[in-house]
Amino acid sequence: MVRGSKRKNPGTRQSSAASSKRGSAMLTDVTDASDGEGDVIVIDEEPATPGKGKTQTVIEFLENERDEAIKKIQENGAKAIEQFRAEAAQAKERLLASLNETREELVQDEEPIPSEPPQASRVPSSSVDDKEPITQPPSPPQAAQTSRRKAPVPAVIADVPPRRSYGEQKTIYIACTSGVYKGQKFTLILSSDANRLCHIGRSSGKKYKAPHGLSLPKDPEISTTHAEIRWSEKDDNIYITDQNSTNGTKINGRNLKPRIAVRLDFSKPIRATLGSSDLTLTL
pLDDT mean over 79-93: 86
pLDDT tens for 5-18 read: 445 454 444 444 44
Are 238 and 270 in contact by the 8 Å Cβ rule? The answer is no
Are 220 and 275 in contact by the 8 Å Cβ rule? The answer is yes
pLDDT band at 238 (very low <50, low <70, confident <90, very high): very high
Cβ-based neighbours of 5, under 8 Å, separated by 6 or more = 36
pLDDT tens for 190-233 read: 988 778 899 999 998 888 988 889 999 999 999 999 999 999 98
pTM assigned to the model: 0.42
Residue 198, class by beta-carbon neighbours within 10 Å (0-12 exposed, 13-18 middle, 19+ buried)? buried
Q: How far is residue 81 from each of residues 70, 75, 87, 175, measured CA to CA in Å?
A: 16, 10, 10, 73
Amino acid at 52: K
pLDDT tens for 18-62 read: 444 444 444 444 444 444 444 544 444 455 545 445 688 888 888
Whether the pLDDT of residue 172 is over 90: the answer is yes
